[in-house]
Structure 1
Amino acid sequence: MAGNVLVVHGGGPTAVINASLYGVIMEAKESGVIDHVYGAIGGSEAVLKEQFLDLMKYPQEKLELLLTTPATAIGSSRYALEEEDYQAMGAIFKKHDIRYVLLNGGNGTMDTCGKIYRACKDAGVCVVGIPKTIDNDIAITDHTPGYGSAARYIAETTAEVGVDVKALPIHVCIIEAMGRNAGWITAASALARKKPGDAPHLIYLPERPFKEEEFLKDVKRLYDQLGGVVVVASEGLKKENGEPIVPPIFKSGRSVYYGDVSAYLAELVIKNLGIKARSEKPGLCGRASIALQSSLDRDEAVLAGREALKAAMRGEGGTMVGFIREETPDGSYKMHTRMIPIEEVMLYERTLPGEYINERGNDVTQAFTDWCKPLIGSEIRDFIDFQELYREEKGEQA
């Protein structure tokens, strides 16, 4: 059935959200039955304002830039739609002959996707979700486009900070990772390790209560042993009573501006242990970095866009593209996609499972690193350490 496509981006962008948009456009061109692929310029509110741009009119060399453009080329929003907004959309879609609506986003956007589907399914409009979130907290799917690149960024950054701290081992460095209530990004810092003793030395996740006394003991032990310590902590760390260790600066619905967790932890170290400490907060750098974009993440984001449009054209509305990992005899990475009913993912927050967290709650397990490693693409870079080679030579001579 011929008709037009509308793509809507929602929530915080990623390093590969535009790759999914590229996938939609390429699939539409190859189908031969799609007249226009519209981008909603400014997220869900743009639908109500009819701010649509036909993306198929642009030359291929311009569209190729989507693969290496950070954030979202068509804009996003956290606009809270009301019931009357959903009811108004059917007439807007009909006016522009929009038969297929693809919403690309995280948990909140998938909730919006389900509501638009319910409001417009009787009007002949097929609505499908494309998963996107650096937080990796969408249910059912093995992982989400956007996560692999964010995971690569935190791993590469931790490795570089680790080399710096090892070169001048006089302080504790605390890196704060994004992820809200899920520790997937924080956990990925473990991929920085090449050998025992490499950073990160401690990892603190929101899935486990943060215990100050244990934290200080762990830091002191490692500082006495190594001289320099690298800690990676989630922005969503909570006390045993469930309260954030640092109150959020701002909160409205699912939109949260977290307090400065890394600065708080650094201050704890300074005041209680008398050790020099500093905090690092990559923040948006971790979700906008094209330089550290995962090639696998980008390719899967393109695939998600293509599969979403295919499903819509088959009439499979009220679904989301999911990634399913396959078991292989040699343990190599292999996955396939399948369409997941949108009701199974709407606003369900998927956190790091217990088997991926060590017993003390200050690190991840090998099971996690085995799961995560394929998603970041190529190997983390190697570095040369002449200090270490010097010590090895002196040890051999002794």
Structure 2
Amino acid sequence: MGMRNIIVGQSGGPTSVINSSLAGVYKTAIERGFDKVYGMLHGIQGFLDEQYVDLSTQIHSDMDIELLKRTPSAFLGSCRYKLPEIHEDMEIYEKIFGILDKLEIEAFIYIGGNDSMDTIKKLSDYAIVKGHKQKFLGVPKTIDNDLALTDHTPGFGSAAKYIGASTKEVIRDALGLTYKKEMITIIEVMGRNAGWLTGATALAKTEECEGPDLIYLPEVPFDIDAFLSKIKDLLKEKKSIIVAVSEGIKLPDGRYVCELSGGGDYVDAFGHKQLTGTAAYLANFLGAEIGCKTRAVEFSTLQRSASHMASRVDINEAFMVGGAAVKAADEGDSGKMVVIDRVSDDPYMSAAGIYDVHKIANNEKTVPREWLNETADYVTEEFINYIEPLIQGDYPPFMVNGLPQHLVLKK
């Protein structure tokens, strides 16, 4: 009888809880009797170069699992690699399955977002066509929260928690700087086509904080003239203006706002433009048009790497879906992605479900138009009610000499 081995990889932009899913995969695989749990180094791209590690050489105790759950970024390394269509390059698939057979892999688990689910779809399709017995399961991961059929994605809650808290702090800072002179602060938040993260800035609106004045999401075309008019009106009422914008807001003609300043030239393997400079462009635009002090604040990679502010709900759910993928593969499922189903709002409860990856890959879930106000410059109460349960609780890091400790891959 052959070995029962499993392999897991991480792909795409990391999150502060992606390693909690990895911990869930490892712990559940060991509990269910798999002989070895391999980790791909740098996802499917590294796997093609036969770069992998036996995770038992990295994780030695329950304490290591707890450390891993609190470690940001991709412990195994990530990639942005697009597999060709099966008919375009059969050799690459033959190579992948040759390595899987050599390692006696029974289940292939991939933790990632939309593009990663495309990988699961193609590999599971090839296995069916060619009669291979390996099972292929996807584990959701993305701070963008744009995966279809899942209520939300692991990584989103913690990023939203960081964004809400940081927006409050930026607002306090701005208020302390304005006395006799006006100042406009533009906060740029990640989000190419979906504005879930930018909407999270509304969490800053609390008893002691007014929150941002305007919020612009990429779901609705951005009217720069109407924007200028609203800013001028607000300056008649207050000296400090805070605006949150998604990096991917577009003009009515389809151009990204960041392209107005020369951004968006770099394109990745999946055809996505690198978006940066939206806040800087708008701050400069307002400074020139109005003549007051402006500043641009980019939360940038801090949104996905701030594990010290991770949500307990998020870490626990990330661990849950990792374990659920192993269970599903062990019970014969393939070509599926684990999802999070919202069971109850009060009290908040969730459970792991599973859906056909063909219905998820390459589909984006955007913020419903009815969750924006009429003028599309703020989110509604429904949006807040949806997001608030996901940011609850804390997962205190293990502190050493005043700083958080992380688990680091030893090659």
TM-score by length of 2: 0.88
Cross-structure match for 1:78: 80
Residue 38 of structure 1 corresponds to 38
Root-mean-square deviation (CA), in Å? 1.6
8 Å Cα contact 2:6-2:36 kept in structure 1: yes
Q: Give CA-to-partner distance per residue, 1:117-143, whole Å, 9 cap, x none.
A: 111242110000000001111101010
Q: How does 1:133-144 map to 2 (within 5 A)?
A: 133-144=142-153
Q: In 1, Cα distance between the equivalents of 2:218 and 2:71?
A: 31
The answer to whether the 8 A contact 1:28-1:34 is kept is yes
Tell me the amino acid that sits aligned with residue 68 of structure 1.
R
Distance in 2, matches of 1:244 and 1:377, equals 34
Corresponding position of 2:407: none
Match of 1:312 among 324, 329, 333: 329
Residues 249, 259 of structure 1: 8 Å contact kept: no
* Alignment length (residue pairs): 376
Distance 2:369 2:207 in 1: 24
Partner residue of 1:223?
235
The one of 174, 177, 180 aligned to 1:165? 174
Counterpart in 2 of 1:367? 382
1:101-120 to structure 2, matched below 5 A, reads 101-120=108-127
Task: Report what 1:250 is aligned to.
Answer: 266
| Matched residue, 1:182 | 194
For 2:334, the aligned partner's letter is G
Question: Within 5 Å, which residues of 2 pair with 1:243-322?
Answer: 243-247=255-259, 248-252=264-268, 253-322=270-339
Deviation of residue 2 (structure 1)?
Answer: 5.9
Letter in 1 for 2:317: E
Distance 1:2 1:274 in 2: 70
Quick one: distance in 2 between partners of 1:255 and 1:289? 24
Question: Using the alignment, how far apart are the partners of 1:111 and 1:81 within structure 2?
Answer: 8
Q: Sequence identity of aligned pairs in percent?
A: 38
Deviation at 1:65, TM superposition (A): 1.6
Partner of 1:241: 253
Aligned-pair distance for 1:195?
A: 3.7
Aligned position for 2:94: 87
Counterpart secondary structure, 1:21: helix
> Distance in 2 between the 1:303 and 1:256 partners?
33
For 1:189 and 1:332, the matched residues in 2 are separated by: 24
2: distance between equivalents of 1:2 and 1:321?
25
Q: Secondary structure at the match of 1:114?
A: helix
Secondary structure at the counterpart of residue 335 of structure 1: strand
SS in 2 for 1:123: coil
The alpha carbon displacement at 1:225 in A equals: 1.3
Distance 1:288 1:163 in 2: 23
Q: TM-score, normalised by structure 1?
A: 0.91
2:56 corresponds to? 56
SS at match of 2:38: strand
Q: In the alignment, residue 381 of structure 2 is paired with which amino acid? A: Q
The alpha-carbon distance between structure 1 residues 284 and 185, as it changes in their structure 2 partners (threshold 3 A), is same
Q: Which residue of 1 aligns with 2:373?
A: 358
